[in-house]
Amino acid sequence: MSKSITTILAAALMISTAVSAQAKTNILFVLDSSGSMWGQVDGVAKMSTAKNVLTRLIGDLPKGAKAGVMAYGHRQKGSCEDVELISPIGAGSSTSAALSRLTPLGKTPISYALTQTKQAFAGTAPGDSNYVVLISDGIETCGGNVCSAASWLANQNINVKVHVVGFDISKKDRAELQCIADYGGGKYFPANSTQGFSDAIKEVIKVAVDDKPEPPPAPKPQPVAPQRESVFLDNFDGEALGESWSVTNPNPESYVVEEGSLLMLSSQLATLYNADSDNFVSLGEKLPKGDWDIEVNLIAELKTGKDQFSIALRKDEQNYLGLTFYTFTGSSTCNGAKIQLVKRSRGKEAVFNTLVGGKGADICGNFNPQEYKNWIEFVANSKTKMILSKRGREYTGAIEISGVLDGKTTEIKQNTKPLTSLRSPGKFTMLLGKYNKADGEALVFVDAVEIFKVK
């Protein structure tokens, strides 16, 4: 083979490859061939108009466009699966003969027909633009959900849109066909006359051929994860509270540091708003400027049904912002646990409650007594983390509990909505107690307190 012939063949191959690589437009007309297509518009059967217009326009498609035809309702009078691809996409001159053989006969299984169109695009190239053009003079008669079928088809990763030509459609029936176009990502084209039908088919072909795929959106910038720097950590490894801590209203019988934990015990009424409560354990260290997280790792044995453990920024009983983890019992089903984010400023409160232990959306909990008992045992044998966070002037609370509940590994994570405070309400403080009269006592093992500066 001479060098010149080899060069010519290589050039031809390159041209062929370039042409095949160009994206094409593929249009599948889905033609209603149900019995109603015998009806006339302008003195001509709608089926005759559809055959003539499709034969003429498919034979005169712009360069780079190919078409095929699927029909339904043309073979069996009562069938809801009478759907046939009578002319594959790109069949060319044979399409006319296939159209000429159609005779209106049966039902209108639009939904089923739409689901069958996917296979018609099996031979198209990945970069092609594909279109289904449904031509119908009526609505679904086989009970299918046409909107869902159109949505399903549009999400099949075959780059397809669904247009609809409504031929002689009543006003009350148009909404269903419009829905197909809407959910299929296409447009609805009305045709109320013979000429109108021809114009609608011309327009839908033009829209398909001129439709340029939108460029893929620029990737969204990935959010930068906040950087955290630990600025304080106390693992309670000594035999007493470190110098950073102080205790207001100390009751030595109700707290002790041993075996790597701060143990806090309470059988008394104790709340952030009661200045006489025992054992306000407060941190003298200043919190970092800007954003921060305070994390308290603990194990809680909350057994009285009215227990509460709080971490807070507290100035006094009238001014604080805190997160409280508390349990509650009431009627046969009003049992559970919550976290509460509360801000008290000059005695006035703003509160957010979030259910932690319970069922459903009812803040009452909806645990029966046995479910509540199981949940309390789960907490007593689980690791719990309470988190108080500041972002700007907003403060949020969160809790994480991980353990085994009903024989299954269980992780609970709940957040509160934010509250706003213009100034820091006070020193970081921990408090254990009861908020109402109840038998028994509560015990909390605080394993660590860590403060992070967030950048």
pLDDT for 22 equals 59
**Does the pLDDT of residue 347 top 50, yes or no?**
yes
Q: Which of 3-7, 99-103, 215-219, 432-436 has the lowest mean pLDDT?
A: 3-7
**Does the pLDDT of residue 224 top 80, yes or no?**
no
Backbone angles phi, psi at 369, to 5 degrees: -55, -40
Residue carrying structure tokens 């102080």: 246
**Does the pLDDT of residue 76 top 90, yes or no?**
yes
pLDDT digits (tens, 9 = 90+) for 265-318: 998 899 999 999 999 999 999 999 999 999 999 999 988 889 999 999 999 999
Domains of the chain and any CATH numbers: 24-210 (3.40.50.410), 228-454 (2.60.120.200)
**Does the pLDDT of residue 33 top 50, yes or no?**
yes
Helix/strand/coil (H/E/C) assignment for every residue in the chain:
CCHHHHHHHHHHHHHHHHHHHCCCEEEEEEEECEHHHHCEECCEEHHHHHHHHHHHHHCCCCCCEEEEEEEECCCCCCCCCCEEEEECCCCCCHHHHHHHCCCCCECCCHHHHHHHHHHHHCCCCCCCEEEEEEEECCCCCCCCCHHHHHHHHHCCCCCEEEEEEEECCCHHHHHHHHHHHHHCEEEEEEECCHHHHHHHHHHHHHHHHHCCCCCCCCCCCCCCCCCEEEEEEECCCCCCCCCCEEEECCCHHHEEEECCEEEEEECCECCCCCCCCCCEEEECCCCCCCEEEEEEEEEEECCCCCEEEEEEEEEECCEEEEEEEEEECCCCCCCEEEEEEEEEECCEEEEEEEEEECCCCCCCCCCCHHHHHHHHHHHHCCEEEEEEEEECCEEEEEEEEEEEECCEEEEEEEECCCEECCCCCCEEEEEEEECCCCCCCEEEEEEEEEEEEEC
> What confidence category does residue 220 fall into, taking pLDDT thresholds of 50, 70 and 90?
confident
Amino acid symbol at 189: F
**Does the pLDDT of residue 181 top 70, yes or no?**
yes
pLDDT for 15 equals 36
pLDDT digits (tens, 9 = 90+) for 369-411: 888 999 999 999 999 999 999 999 999 999 999 999 988 999 9
Mean of pLDDT values over 309-331: 92
- Does pTM top 0.85 for this prediction? no
Burial class, 370, CB count within 10 angstroms (exposed 0-12 / middle 13-18 / buried 19+): exposed
**Does the pLDDT of residue 6 top 60, yes or no?**
no
- High-pLDDT (> 70) share of the chain, %: 93
> What confidence category does residue 16 fall into, taking pLDDT thresholds of 50, 70 and 90?
very low
Mean pLDDT of the chain: 90
> What confidence category does residue 94 fall into, taking pLDDT thresholds of 50, 70 and 90?
confident
> What confidence category does residue 436 fall into, taking pLDDT thresholds of 50, 70 and 90?
confident
Q: Which of 136-145, 231-240, 420-429 has the lowest mean pLDDT?
A: 420-429
Mean of pLDDT values over 166-172: 92
> What confidence category does residue 23 fall into, taking pLDDT thresholds of 50, 70 and 90?
low
pLDDT digits (tens, 9 = 90+) for 42-59: 999 999 999 999 999 998
Mean of pLDDT values over 435-455: 93
pLDDT digits (tens, 9 = 90+) for 355-366: 998 887 677 888
- Cβ atoms of 283 and 429 closer than 8 Å: yes
**Does the pLDDT of residue 183 top 90, yes or no?**
yes
Mean of pLDDT values over 154-181: 94
